[in-house]
Each structure stands twice: as structure tokens, then as C-alpha cells.
Structure 1
Amino acid sequence: MRYFAPQLFDGKSIKTNQIMTIENGLITSISPGQDSEADTLLKGLVTPGYIDVQVNGGGGVLFNNQPNIEALQTMSRAHQQFGTTTMLPTLITDDMEIMARAGEAIQQAIYNNMPSVVGVHFEGPHLSQPKKGIHPEQHIRHISDQELALFTRQDLGVVCVTLAPENVPCDIIKELVKNNVKVCLGHSNASYEQTMLAIEAGAQGFTHLYNAMSPLQSREAGMVGAALLDDQTFCGLIVDHEHVDSASCQLAIKCKSSERIMLVTDAMSHVGSDQIKLQFSGMDITRDGNKLTIEGGRLAGSALDMASAVKNTITHLGSPIEQAINMASFTPANFIGRQKSKGRLSVGFDADWLVLDENFQVNKTFIAGQCVYSN
């Protein structure tokens, strides 16, 4: 199949009048051409599909409340309309039974080649009580052999685990990394020194930078200071103007570069649905505009989608279009180790792409060369 793109961002530069040829779900060629030579015209800016490494829910479904393959299908469809072609469904801190069921659902999704689900993100349960956010206190605990066995399963695709390094020894972090687990630091009150030791042990990233972590202060750099200073680690950033101040977002991008900042949604079930209230672990999570809170006003995940995250990064943070799209595509692809197959439009890469309008909204979403969403 041959597609004509008047404008195409391949991950490096925006090119005009390109013909992209797709075979068996892969890009086989991209070259200059005319629309008359193609089978289909793509009207708008063609970009790589977005990759979201922190997705708790969508389409009215929260993964914790429904840890099964049907929930993953609903979440995938909900986020595809906002440009997410690849995701790590994310399980918030829960009991061992729910964690095991979530693992089985992910295994089924990968075995069945479900488009968009490439692994799982276990956000907890080995977190810090003072920085728990909405993570249920009764389930926060030290790591056991059961959890280690789950995290190191080899049939779950990409496994990411968010943990607080003050509560998980460095030798356990080394063990996880040795078993190909992506260790992220977050929901933590760790000192700068504890954070740097965890990075030395192999931790590769930080979960929602600034939120639920020890802050940067004059006499204590904290986890935020370590995250901003270290050049190799990746940081998720929620650009919804609720979680992080715009200047702080700009500072993070300036310190880390777009090659290390990943746009994430931290989306709850509200995204892609008209849901207002969600029940989770005895809490009511209520949507008011773009903000999700529990009683008392504490933030509880987000109602952000990836299309809005990209648009906010361009229009409110002043990032160039190319940089913003890479933070939603190639940078997270690099983090999950898929930088040779996802996050770029290039020969041999997966045919996952979007067609954006002039307001950066998604008109069409393609996964493996198949249109999965059309506005």
C-alpha cells in the first residue's frame, strides 16, 4: 500500500510530498513523489505514533478495577483516538492477587499480538508512605519473592517497575535490571545520595518528575535534583498544567533535553469517556474539567491524553513541533528498548503513524499499517 503525505515528520525532520510504502505492517520505503503515484492521500501532518509508558485506564475502565484482557482492549481503543499506538498499561499499588491477574492479562495480550500493548508498568507497591499520593496505604509493602517472580517473568514484554529506593535495597534493583526490568524511581522521599546509588545500581528512569518525590531544595537536592542532574536517566512528565508548573516543565526539558524527557498521561479511566466519578480502593476520584481529585482536593492521576500533552508542550511550553512529538514517540521508544522499531517513520520500522490537523488533534491513527481510528 502506498500513502502520499504532503507533510511528513520522520522523527528527524519535516519533509514535503513523500510516498510511504507499507508491507506486512512495516515501512518498506519513504521517498519523494506525487499524490498520483499513491493509493491513499493523507491530509495533514503525518507523524510517528505516540508511546505512553504510564496508562492506568481509559474508556471508562481502570486496569486495577478490571485486570483482564477486555479492559486492555477498551483502554487501547480509548487512547488510539488520541494518537497512542503503543502503551504500557499501568497497575497502581494493589494486593498480590490483583497484580497476578494483571500479569496474566498482559501475557494474554502479548500472546494474542494485541496492537499497542507491549508490556506492563507496575507503579508500586514498594513505595514511600509519605509520598504515596492515592496509592492505597494498606497495600504499600516491602518486596517479596512473589513480586520478584512476577516482575521478572519473561512473557510480559517490557516490564517497568516504579519503586522508592529508600525501601528497596540496591542489590534488588540490580537483580531486577539484570532480568531486563526497567526500574523507575518515584513516590519516594529518598535523599539525593540514595537516588544516585539507585541509578548506579541500574535504575533507568523517574516516574512523573516532580510529583510525589523529594523536592530540590537549597541544602538538599532530593530526588528531583538527582533526576535533573543525571544525563542518562529518562523522566516521565505530565504536561496537563495541573501536575507541574509550565516553568518547571521548561526547566526539565532544558536540563534533560527532549532525548530524556518523555510525555506521559498518567491517565485514569475518565480519558476517552464521559465518566465523571470513579471508585478506586474506597476513594471517589472526580473529574472537574481536566483535573482529577479525591476528597480534600489531592490530585488523583490525570484526565490527560497524549494529543493534548503534545499540543500543550508546543503551544504553552514553546517547544518546537519536532521536539514535542519526539518526547511522545522516539524518546519513550528508546526508554522501552524499541528504538529500532518504533518512534520513527523509517524503513524497517513498524507502520505506526498519525495524521494530525493544524491544531495537533488526531484525524487518523494507524497501527501496523491498519487504520484503527478515523475522525
Structure 2
Amino acid sequence: MTVAYLGADIFDGATRHASSALVAEGGRVAAIVPPSELGPDVATVRLDGGLLAPGFVDIQVNGGGGVLFNEAPDVEGIRAICAAHARFGSTALLPTVITDRPEVTFAAIEAVEAAMRGGVPGCAGIHVEGPFLSVARKGAHDPALIRRMNDADLEALCASRVRPFLLTVAPESVTAAQISALAAAGIRVSLGHTDASYETAHRAFAAGASCVTHLFNAMSQLGNREPGLVGAALDAPDVWCGFIPDGHHVHPAALGAALRAKRGPRTLIAVTDAMPTVGSPRDVFELNGREARRENGRLTLADGTLAGSDLSMIGALHYLVRTLGFDLEEALRLCSTHAAEFLGLAATHGRLGPGSRADMVWIDEALELKGVWIGGTPVALG
């Protein structure tokens, strides 16, 4: 079936089109054309102003809709998490399993493979965050479960057929040779939860690490004589940086300065690091047997440690525009296009052009979400 979307401006990921129609066929974008070129038999969806843009792509989602991926590492858990975030505009995401026992980690990987094979809407790959981290920068990860990577881990990870596959590690718990082997197998290696020095970080980048997980948080900081991982990430033009724009994880002045300072074009990615509270009235959940609580939009363990976020991607867009002062189109790229490029999905995600998926968000002038489509199928927002 051919459907044309009319009445809103269209942002295709690079250019804004006024007085145009987006034509979709079979869940894919066919063209963006003047309305006068539409045939008489084309079905139309009329939008009342606002902007039609690529659906959001989130590379770090621990949970949503009351479900934590670590507690439900199965297809139904993935389905629930994806459905919860779709209501906030995330049309593609990486379910993220944090530090846990090996059986949980590998069950999560197998579940994502099954979910992708079964076409679960929104499931685009996996992010494994830990357990190969540094206890010194553990954040909310259980230190009892953090460990070094061994040969069996490396073999099992490289054998996984899930792609995209994002793996967060600390150089303290993996070797340069292991990073190289992971990257050669097509796994995107990110540095995080680490006290690595600037020089150590650059050695890991040279070995094949290509990203940094939630910039500033749980990592060595930018100092005047030791730039740390923050400085290394900002200084490396080919290294991508995920960041959490929620006002709790990083001070807006620090985040704004870092985003302006980052070397390299299009290497910044807004992420949510979302927990089960997103899309749920549930204020309390368990994280490796420890209680985490939501208060005033902030998630913490009993000792005050931040435990992920209560952020959605539409909330991230609001923060980027309203608090950090980003242009709307650049903020949309930070929430969608850049992540798709990093994951190698730019042909199908993060843009609206011939051959891309009809994964779309419709936002009004107040930046409120008015509609979401995944593969041309509307998502119920209620």
C-alpha cells in the first residue's frame, strides 16, 4: 500500500522540506515530493502542522515499561521495553544488559538474536555493558560481578550473530589484543566505567575501540595535567561519544562545553540509559538485588549513586533544545541520525529518504510528540 503524509514540514535527517509529501510503500520511504505529484489513488495521512522527522535511535536502554532487561532477558522482555520506548519516539534501540552473571549476559544476547529474527518492532541490536569494567568506576554496577575478560568470554562474544553489537569495557579488564579481536569480529567496542588515563584510552582506540559510554559518567575526568578518558574522547576525531542529556548526570555547562569542543563531525550520540521507570508508574525497582528509587526524575541506589535514568528520547530532545540551546534539526540528528551512522544502519534508520524505513516521529511547534510510526505502522501513544 502506498501512503502519503501531508501537512507537516519534513526533516529527512539532513534537510528540511516545506510544502512536501512523504510517500511510503511497504513500510519504506519511497520519495519526498510536491503534493501536486501524488496520484489520485494514493492514500493520505494529513498532519496538522509541525515536523515529521526520523524516529529516534537509542543505543543504551536498560529497561522501560516496568521491565529491566537483566531481570527479563527474553523476547517478551525485549518486546515490552521496545513498546514502552516507542511511545516516546524511539523507533529503534539497543536493549542493554548491564554487569551480571554470565548466564544472564548470554541469555540476553540470545534473546536479542531471537527478537531480531522474529521482527520485534524497535529491537535493533544489543548493548552489553559489563562485566568487564573497573571496580574503581563501577557506578551502579555490582562490584562483586565485575571481572576480567577471559578467552572463553572472547570466543563466545565473537561467535554471537547479533549485529549491531555494542560492548562497553574498561581497559583495566580487557587487553588491547582482545579489543582488536572484538572489533575484527564486527563488535563495536566502547570504553566506559574506567579510570583509564589519556594515554591508555588512546591505546584502546588504536586497538579498535570506537566509542565512549555516557561521557563524563563513571570515567576518569578532564584535568589540567591528566586529561583522562573525557579528554581523550573529546580529542579523538574518530571516536563517538554517547551522553545522557537529563540534567542529572552532567551539569549543563559541562555538557554544553564538551559538545562544543568535541573534535570530529557527527560523532555525538544522545542516549537515555533508561531504566524500568520510563513509561511506568513504578518508582522502585531492583538492580542486582539492590533497591533503586525514582525521586523527582532522578534514579538512585540507597547510597545516592545514580542508577541509570528516567529519561526518554523525546525528553532528551527537549533538554537539548530548551536547556542546551541546540538548533532543533541538530538535536534531532543527535537523537537519531548519528546513532544510526555509528551502528552502521544509516541506509535504513536515522533518515527519511528512498529505501529507508518509514520510522518516523511527528512533533508539534512546542516539541511535543504527536505521532510515531515504525515501518509505517502507527504506534499508540496513550
TM-score, length basis structure 2: 0.95
1:30 pairs with one of 29, 32, 36: 32
Matched, 1:142 2:144: no
Q: 2:200 is matched by which residue type in structure 1?
A: Q
CA RMSD of aligned residues (A): 1.5
| d(CA) in 1 for partners of 2:175, 2:7 | 51
Q: CA deviation at 1:154?
A: 4.3
Counterparts of 1:149 and 1:110, CA distance in 2: 22
> C-alpha distance in 2, partners of 1:317/1:185?
25
> Counterpart in 1 of 2:83?
77
2:41 matches 1:39: no
1:248 aligns with 2:250: no
Distance, in Å, in 1 between the alignment partners of 2:329 and 2:113 is 34
Residue of structure 2 in register with 1:4 after alignment? 6
Work out the CA distance in 1 between the residues paired with 2:256 and 2:270: 13
- The secondary structure found in structure 2 opposite 1:127 is coil
Aligned to 1:230: 236
Residue 370 of structure 1 corresponds to: 377
* Secondary structure of the structure 2 residue equivalent to 1:312: helix
CA shift, 1:249, in A, is: 1.4
1:306 paired residue among 299, 306, 313: 313
Matches within 5 A, 1:38-187: 39-43=44-48, 44-187=50-193
Question: Which residue of the partner structure matches residue 342 of structure 1?
Answer: 349
**Distance 1:40-1:251 versus aligned 2 partners, 3 A rule:** same
Q: Residues 70-97 of structure 1, C-alpha deviation per residue, up to 9 Å, x if partnerless? A: 1111101100011000000000100111
Structure 1: state its 5+ residue gaps.
Answer: none
**What amino acid is the match of 1:100?**
F
Deviations along 1:113-171, one digit per CA (max 9) or x if unpaired, are 11211110000010000100111111101112332233223421211000001321111
Q: SS where residue 152 of structure 1 aligns? A: helix
1:226-305 matches, within 5 Å, as 226-256=232-262, 259-305=266-312
| Structure 1 residue 254, shift from structure 2 partner | 0.9
Report percent identity of matched pairs: 38
Runs of 4+ in 1 over 4 A off after TM superposition: 34-38
Amino acid in structure 2 at the alignment position of 1:299: L
TM-score, L = length of structure 1: 0.97
Contact 1:11 1:330 in 2 (8 A): yes
Q: Kindly provide the amino acid, as one letter, of the partner of residue 184 in structure 1.
A: S
Cα distance in 2 for partners of 1:253, 1:18 equals 33
Q: Any idea what SS the aligned residue of 1:39 has?
A: strand
Structure 1 counterpart SS, 2:230: helix
Partners of 2:127 and 2:62 in 1: CA distance:
9
Whichever residue aligns with residue 350 of structure 2, its letter is G
Deviations 1:280-332 (A, max 9, x none): 21211000021001112111100000000011000100000010000011100
> Aligned-pair distance for 1:38?
5.5
In structure 2, the residue matched to 1:200 is: 206
SS of the residue corresponding to residue 135 of structure 1 reads: coil
Identify the match of residue 218 of structure 2 among 212, 215, 219. 212
Paired residue total: 375
Alignment-derived partner of residue 15 in structure 1: 17
Contact 1:4 1:38 (C-alpha < 8 Å) held by counterparts: no
